[in-house]
Amino acid sequence: MADKNYDWVGSTLLCEETNSLCFIDLDSPATDEVTQETDGYKGFIFDTGRLQPLIDLPSLCEESFCLMVEKEIQYMPKQDYLKRLRCGDLDLTVRRDAVDWIWKAHRHYGFGDFSFCLSINYLDRFLSMYEMPNNQTWAVQLLSLACLSIAAKVEEIYVPSTVDLQVGEPKSMFDGKTIQRMELLLLSTLEWRMQSYTPLTFIDHFLRKINGDDKIPSSSPLISRSMQIISGTTKGIEFLEFRPSQIAAAVAMFVSAETVVVAGEDIFRDVPCLSHVQKEKVMKCVELIQDLDERSESSDSAPQSPNGVLEAAWLSFKAVGSCPSSPQTSPDTKRRRLDICNGGK
């Protein structure tokens, strides 16, 4: 039965010090949303910022790219986050359940890949900094809701009200005031750094550099394949080891090698931008992507490992979301993928 004690649920999550967040002026310049009512979209929030995906923007200049790579660390979880997840100091099921709900709600409303990656970025950063109540499923649900809500407000054009975002069969239902409190706690904990750099921020840059500037339209299979792989890597914990730019570089190399013969050593020699993202890390990430891809091809059901969410998503993608123009896997293709890793070491 849904928990009706909304105020109690919200105030329990907030300690005395953060409870004052409820009184922050919501008209602060830190927020960019404007609430409007128009025919067909009553009660929706309209994002007044970028309307087109970053994938359609001109290629980054080298100076801007280097600056973004330098700053991306500011939008990552604390350095010990992955270690704590692996050793059990942090409950892995909390992250798994949160990611699972965010993915389902994200698909329900047809949000874009950018908002999904942002949601998980907010989730990981918050979990690395804030101690969640033990055995409180409502707290995880409320956090997941806040992460998706804020990410949608940052990236999407039309956003349902926060109350309407509670899709599926939630064990608890929250009112707008409680959700707003959680959003403010999330914003405060992350120091209002919400325009995070994710692998999607960098992917078009690497694809253009590897395959030739201004030769990749937004409708290209390289783009859609890359975005699907990135969404999959976001769901598991393996890729928390890497920076967003390193994941983007690895994905760009992987998908490029699926369609053309590209050796890893040639990519690193001919594309200077890869020198900024630690070659060894990128090649390790490529190997992990290749391993997951090959495992998905040889598995008939989702694994039951702690990282099964990622692998299940990979299986789903291979079954229904692969690009029509992508070649079928063959021994030559597998050798070519292996050459990427061997050639770049």
Span 6-54+72-189 CATH architecture: Orthogonal Bundle (1.10)
pLDDT at 299 (0 to 100) = 58
Domain boundaries, the chain: 6-54+72-189, 199-344
Q: SS3 string of 235-281?
A: HCCHHHHCCHHHHHHHHHHHHHHHHCCCCHHHHHHHCHHHHHCCHHH
Rounded Cα distance between 79 and 67, Å, is: 21
Place 142 in a pLDDT band, splitting at 50, 70 and 90.
very high
Q: Are 327 and 333 in contact (CB under 8 A)?
A: yes
Q: How far apart are CA 147 and CA 151, in angstroms?
A: 6
| Crossing angle of helices 331-344 and 279-298, rounded to 10° | 160
Which residues does 301 contact at the CB level (< 8 Å), separation at least 6? 315
Q: What is the pLDDT of residues 51-109, one digit of tens each?
A: 334 445 456 677 788 888 889 999 999 999 999 999 989 999 999 999 999 999 999 99
Q: How far apart are CA 80 and CA 27, in angstroms?
A: 35
Residues 336 and 257: beta-carbon distance below 8 Å = yes
Angle at Cα 239 formed by Cα 98 and Cα 85, nearest 5°? 55
pLDDT in tens, 55-66: 454 566 777 888
